[in-house]
Chain A
C-alpha cells in the first residue's frame, strides 16, 4: 500500500540476534540505572518533622471566627447546617443577655455548635453559605483519634483564641498569614 504522507519513518524489524537474546547487556544497563537512583535525592517528606506547604484555599479543619474586638461572629442562623451535604453541623441558638455585649455580635448566638468530623467531607459549602464570615476552613489536617466521640468537635475546639485577651495564642493560630481585609 502506498504511504499516505511523505514523513514515513521505516521501522527496522530485524530478528533478535543470539547475543541480544541473552539480555545480559540490557540487564546491565537497567541495573546501572537503578544503581544511580540509589544516590539521587529522595522524594519522601518526613511527617511530622517536615510538613508540606498548603495553598491558602486548602480546605482543612473548621474554625469559628471572631471579629477584631473579639466578639463571636456566629449567629446560629443555620445556613451552614442547611448547606452541608453530609449533615455534619448541628447547633442550638440562645439569646444574648444584658451584660454579654462584648462576647457576641448580635442578639442571637450559638450556645452549642457541633461539627461531626466523621461526617464532614471538607467541601467548604458551609464556608460559602455563611453570611457573617463566621466559619472558615483552615489549612490543618484532621488529626487521628481512637474513639468516635472525640471526633465531634464542639465550640471550644472550633472557636479561635480571643485576639485581645490571648494575643500570643491568636498570633500562633493565625500562623503568620497577613489578613487581606
Chain B
C-alpha cells in the first residue's frame, strides 16, 4: 500500500488539479461576463445603454442573473423523460468544458525548480480530441429536445443537430488544409511552429480561416445560425421546457462554447500565446520565463476577447438564416470551398517544395 502511495507522483497530480480548477473557474467567470458584454454591446450597437443599474456600470448584472436563475422554480414536466431531461443540460455543459483541456493557455511557468506547462493535457491528437468532443455536443441538444416531449422542441432540436453535424464536416475539411502545413495534430506544436516561424497561420490559410469561423458560428448556434434557439420561430427552440438552473446550464454552455471556439481559433490561426513583435527568447533571459509565460497567456486572452467581440458584433448585425438556406450553405457552398482550399494548398505545397 505504501509502495503504491509513494509511486504516485503527487506533486504533478496536484499541479494538474490546480490547473484544471483554475481553467474551469476562469472559463465560468469569462462565460458569466460574456453575458454582460453581450448585453452591453447589444445596447451600444442599438444606441442605448445596456444594463447599468446593478453595481457601477452594471458590473454585477451577471451575478443578479445567476441569482435569478437559481431562485426560479425547477419544473420537470410530468410527461417528460425525467432522466434524459436532467441529462441534456449536463451533457451540454460537460462537453463545453472538456474541450478546454487541450488548449495551450500559455508558455511554461518556472516555479521553484518545477516547469509547469499551462496546458492540462498535451496529447498528440489535440485537434482530433476537440472535434470528437464538439461532436458530442450534438447529443446535449438532441437529448434536450427529445426529453421535453414537445413537438416544437423536437423539431428545433432536430434542426439544431442537423445544422451542427453539417457544419462540422466543413470545419474538419478546412482544418485538413491547415494540417498539411503543420504536419502535426498537437496544439502545442502548432503554436510553437507559429512562434518559430514568426508568421501566423491566418496569413497562409485565409480561406481556411474564413470557413472555420463560419463553421464556428454554426457550431455555437449563434446568429446568423441560431434557428434552433430562435425566440420567434419554434417558440424558443429546444430549451423551451427548461426553467431555472437547467436552462442556465444550456445558456451557459453556449457561452462557454463561444469562449472555447474563440480560444481554438486564436490558437490555430492567430498564434495562440504568441505575442506579436515580441522576441520571446531575448525577454526570457531578462525577465524570466514565468513572466513571459504569463504575458503569453494575457496575449491569448486579448485575442479571445477580440473573437468574442466579433461573435457578438456579427450577432447584432445579420438576420437569421432560413433553414434551407442554412443547409444549402453548409453542404453546397462550404464543403466544395473547403475541398478547393485543400486542393490549392496541396498543390502550392508540392510546387514550393520543389
Contact = CB atoms under 8 A, between A and B. Distances in A.
A34 B313 CA distance: 8
B139 to A, nearest CB: 31
Nearest to B52: A46
Given A30-B318, A37-B44, A42 B49 contact: yes
Contacts of B313: 31, 34-35
A9 interface: no
Nearest to B48: A44
Interface string B39-55: 00101111111001000
Interface string B289-327: 000000000000000000000000110111000000000
A42 B52 contact: no
Best-surrounded residue of A27, A33, A34, A40 (most CB of chain B within 10 A): A34
Contact of A30 (B43, B46, B317): B317
Interface in A11-53: 27, 30-31, 33-35, 37-38, 40-44, 46
A41 B314 CA distance: 21
A21 to B, nearest CB: 8
Contacts of B47: 37, 40-43
Contacts of B314: 27, 31
A38 B41 contact: yes
Interface residues of A, number: 14
Contacts, number: 34
Contact of B316 (A27, A34, A40, A46): A34
Q: Is the interface of A mostly helix, strand, loop or mixed?
A: helix
B317 A44 contact: no
B45 A27 contact: no
Contacts of A44: 48-49
B49 A38 contact: no
Contacts of B41: 38
A38 B318 contact: no
A43 B48 contact: yes
Contacts of A31: 313-314, 317
A31 B47 CA distance: 15
Interface in A94-145: none
B317 A27 contact: yes
A50 to B, nearest CB: 12
A30 B314 CA distance: 9
Nearest to A18: B333
A42 B318 contact: no
A105 B21 CA distance: 78
A46 B314 CA distance: 28
Nearest to B49: A44
Nearest to B337: A22
Contacts of B44: 37-38, 42
Contacts of A34: 45, 313, 316-317
Contacts of A46: 49, 52
Contacts of B49: 42, 44, 46
A44 B49 CA distance: 6
B58 to A, nearest CB: 12
A42 B48 CA distance: 5
Contacts of B48: 42-44
B208 to A, nearest CB: 15
15 contacts: A27-B314, A30-B317, A31-B313, A31-B317, A33-B317, A34-B45, A34-B313, A34-B316, A34-B317, A37-B44, A37-B46, A42-B43, A42-B44, A42-B47, A42-B49
Interface of A: 27, 30-31, 33-35, 37-38, 40-44, 46
Interface of B: 41, 43-49, 52, 313-314, 316-318
Minimum-distance CB pairs A-B, first 5: A38-B44, A44-B49, A34-B317, A34-B45, A30-B317
